């Protein structure tokens, strides 16, 4: 499988409330900023990467990828970031990854990409126990057109939006890979 038909969108636009308002993507973890883990991952698996961010845009731009803020200042969450990036995506397939999962592996990403490419589904996501791991998913670019009506209808849930697509779910067995660094305690416990 080639990676030439995937654009990555790294979601780094959150308010970081559980981290005391810090910009999560720029928080240090094991000697690197959290976003650097996501950037290394997407460099291995995608032909282009976009960074969805709403603060510290100049700092994010130093990583050499387009930085795209939300279209409107709002509290509609990560789907607003994906919506803002949609017009900058020229590939047929999109990999969406949160900036705060330093333990994700290339193998997990490639499995999602392969499934989306070969299965005929519109989106692919991992599930652990009864929880969809919505911080990482692959989706067809054509599905992004449904974001605006979904958000305008007052909906914010990534899970809810993904479930409206022709979704393929993959059982996940590696709990560590999907751990988010959302709080100061997470930054310590994930060491």
Parallel/antiparallel/unpaired status of strands 28-29 and 32-33: antiparallel
pLDDT at 20: 55
Confidence of residue 62 (pLDDT cuts 50, 70, 90): very high
pLDDT at 177: 75
CA dihedral 50, 54, 57, 60 (to 10 degrees): -50
* Alpha-carbon distances of 40 from 35, 73, 165, 171, rounded to whole Å: 9, 29, 28, 24
Q: What is the distance between the alpha carbons of residues 55 and 75, in angstroms, rounded to a whole number?
A: 14
The percent of residues in the chain predicted with pLDDT above 70, rounded, is 85
Q: What is the distance between the alpha carbons of residues 106 and 125, in angstroms, rounded to a whole number?
A: 15
Show me where the domains of the chain are located. Answer: 6-189
Confidence of residue 18 (pLDDT cuts 50, 70, 90): low
Q: How many CA atoms lie within 13 A of 52 on its CB side?
A: 31
Alpha-carbon Rg for the chain in angstroms: 15
Does 191 score more than 60 pLDDT?
no
The pTM for the full model equals: 0.90
What average pLDDT does range 19-46 have in this prediction? 86
pLDDT at 77: 83
- 139-178 per-position pLDDT tens digit: 999 999 999 999 999 998 999 999 999 999 999 887 777 7
Q: Name 52's bridge partners.
A: 11, 68
Q: What single string gives the DSSP state of each residue in the chain?
A: --STTEEEEEE-----GGGTT--GGGSEETTEEHHHHHHHHHHHH-SEEEEE-SS-HHHHHTTSS-EE--SS--S-THHHHHHHHGGG--SSEEEEEETT-TT--HHHHHHHHHHHHHH--SEEEEEETTEEEEEEEEEEGGGGGGHHHHHHTT---HHHHHHTS-EEEEE---GGGG----SHHHHHHT-
Fold held by 6-189: Spore Coat Polysaccharide Biosynthesis Protein SpsA; Chain A (3.90.550)
């Amino acid at each position: 499988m080639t990676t030439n038909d995937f654009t990555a969108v790294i979601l780094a636009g959150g308010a970081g409330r559980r981290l005391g308002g810090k910009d999560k993507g720029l928080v240090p973890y094991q000697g690197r900023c959290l976003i650097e883990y996501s950037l290394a991952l997407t460099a291995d698996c995608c032909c282009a990467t976009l960074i969805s961010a709403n603060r510290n845009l100049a700092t994010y731009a130093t990583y050499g990828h387009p930085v795209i803020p939300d279209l409107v200042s709002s509290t509609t969450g990560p789907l607003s970031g994906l919506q803002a990036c949609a017009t900058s995506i020229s590939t047929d397939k999109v990999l969406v990854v949160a900036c705060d999962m330093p333990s994700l592996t290339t193998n997990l990403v490639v499995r999602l990409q392969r499934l989306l490419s070969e299965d005929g589904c519109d989106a692919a996501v991992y599930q652990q126990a009864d929880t969809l791991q919505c911080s990482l998913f692959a989706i067809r670019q054509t599905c992004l057109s449904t974001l605006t009506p979904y958000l305008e209808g007052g909906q914010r849930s990534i899970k809810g939006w993904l479930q409206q697509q022709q979704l393929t779910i993959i059982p996940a067995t590696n709990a560590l890979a999907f751990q988010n660094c959302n709080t100061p305690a997470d930054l310590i416990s994930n060491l």
